[in-house]
Amino acid sequence: MDTLLDVIIILCQVLMAAIFTRVILSWLSTRPGNPLVTIIDAITEPILGPLRRIIPSAGTFDFSPLVAMMLLYVIIIVVDQVSS
């Protein structure tokens, strides 16, 4: 059981890192066909897409990465408490 919970925590941490990377890459001018951008988009879009439909954007600022990272952090805290 602890191994499964550890995998969930690691998965959440990897997703948080991918979302953070996507935010940083969105500030840089990268080529649309860049393999790194394509991979990061494929990893993060299943999480960010549904959140974008729920959370309204404030002008050009997209709050969905922030909300996604907060939700993932809450999941990490809950899973850590369950495993203790």
Question: What does the block give as tokens for 21?
Answer: 């990377």
Is the pLDDT at 76 greater than 80? The verdict is yes
Domain that holds residue 26: 2-83
Is the pLDDT at 84 greater than 80? The verdict is no
Q: What is the pLDDT of residues 2-50, one digit of tens each?
A: 899 999 999 999 999 999 999 999 888 788 788 989 999 999 999 999 9
**pLDDT on residue 18:** 97
**Backbone phi, psi, residue 48, to 5°:** -75, -30
Q: What is the DSSP letter of 7?
A: H
Average pLDDT in the chain: 92
The total domain count for the chain is 1
